[in-house]
Amino acid sequence: MAWPPAMTEDRPLVTRFAPSPNGPLHLGHALSAIIAHDLAKAGGGRFLLRIEDIDGPRSRRELADEFRRDLAWLGLEWEETAAQSTRLATYVAAAAALKARGLLYPCTCTRKQIEAAGAASGAERLIYPGTCKRIPPDPALPAAWRLDAGRALAATGPLVWEDDLAGPIPVDLSGLGDVVLVRKDLPASYHLAVTLDDAADGVTLVTRGADLFAASHVHRTLQALLDLPVPRWHHHALLMDDTGQKLAKRRSSPALAERRLAGENGRMLAEQLRLQHLRLGT
Ligand code: GLU
Ligand code: ZN
């Protein structure tokens, strides 16, 4: 039975901000952190900071320190939870369980090969065309492991997830296809790590930008497959610049650290973002 989803209301409210230390925080990150923080405080809950430093050499410890300074500068208070680099064994165990059930398959394709195949099929969004599902690859080659969306759906049956703003959303894996859960170079992908971490941290309300909306279909599926508690979600609208471009993508938008070091008042900036967020209505 997929609906209603496992209730989280009997658990205390826990939100989180989960930045990856591979680049500085910008205004969009600040908004995400503020929303997660304010929702937790308004509901008498806890607000967690989790450093998503799974990305090996691309993760920089000194950036995580900058993040903490940025959040304090914005006037936020948080509890810090375990960083991803300390949780690799959990990811390995979960991936092994999914493999044992035949829900993952190895994929040796390079990004170039996938792009070429994706372009050939004319798909709007790049969806893995299933090459290695049809023809099992050479086991000697380095492989990523993908979730077989068809088998996953057969295993879970129809599922629903609940977004605070968008309402109940039926799970549809067709938008992302067979996503990678274990990377060639890492024991987990973003999808696997973030789902396990949110469960381990007792997160009951996943707050993040609407650019990650589609990922929640995958995360809800993983929760069902791995028997994890089901949170609610809150995907907030992204800040746009005057030209309608995502602010996060605009190079000219200065990093929070830069504004902080230039002496700007972070609490005032946070208030401005709260007002802007109210205007966006999300
Ligand atoms: N670490 C991810 C990022 O910085 C965010 C993960 C999430 O909020 O689910 O984009
Ligand atoms: Zn492949």
What are all long-range contacts of 166-172, with beta carbons under 8 Å and residues at least 24 apart?
166/213, 166/235, 168/3, 169/216, 169/217, 171/2, 171/217, 171/220, 171/221, 172/217
The pLDDT of residue 7: 46
pLDDT band at 6 (very low <50, low <70, confident <90, very high): very low
Which tens digit of pLDDT belongs to each residue from 39-77? 999 999 999 999 999 887 778 889 999 999 999 999 999
Asked whether the predicted pLDDT for residue 131 surpasses 60, the reply is: yes
Asked whether the predicted pLDDT for residue 200 surpasses 50, the reply is: yes
Residues 168-193: what's their mean pLDDT?
96
Query: H or E element: which one contains 35?
Result: helix 27-42
pLDDT band at 194 (very low <50, low <70, confident <90, very high): very high
- The ligand with the least distance to the CA atom of 180 is 2
Asked whether the predicted pLDDT for residue 90 surpasses 50, the reply is: yes
CA 113–ligand 1 middle distance (angstroms): 27
Residues 9-23: what's their mean pLDDT?
91
The pLDDT of residue 245: 67
Nearest CA to ligand 1 atom 6: 18
The pLDDT of residue 249: 52
CA 115–ligand 2 middle distance (angstroms): 11
Give residue 152's region: left, alpha or beta (phi > 0; psi -120 to 50).
alpha
- Report yes or no: 231 and 204 within 8 Å, Cβ to Cβ: yes
Tokens describing residue 132: 């290695």
What percent of the chain is modeled with pLDDT above 90?
A: 78
Residues 200-215: what's their mean pLDDT?
96
Which tens digit of pLDDT belongs to each residue from 230-258? 999 999 998 877 666 666 555 567 899 99
pLDDT averaged over the chain? 91
Q: Which residues approach ligand 1 with their CB closer than 6 A?
A: 18-20, 52, 194, 208, 212
Tokens describing residue 13: 């409210």
The pLDDT of residue 39: 97
User: Which residues line ion ligand 2, judged by CB < 5 Å?
Assistant: 107, 109, 131-132
Give the count of beta carbons closer than 10 Å to the beta carbon of residue 33: 28
Asked whether the predicted pLDDT for residue 1 surpasses 60, the reply is: no
Coil, helix or strand at residue 243 = coil
- The ligand with the least distance to the CA atom of 212 is 1
pLDDT band at 5 (very low <50, low <70, confident <90, very high): very low
What percent of the chain is modeled with pLDDT above 70?
A: 90
Largest CA distance in the chain: 58
The pLDDT of residue 114: 87
The pLDDT of residue 212: 95
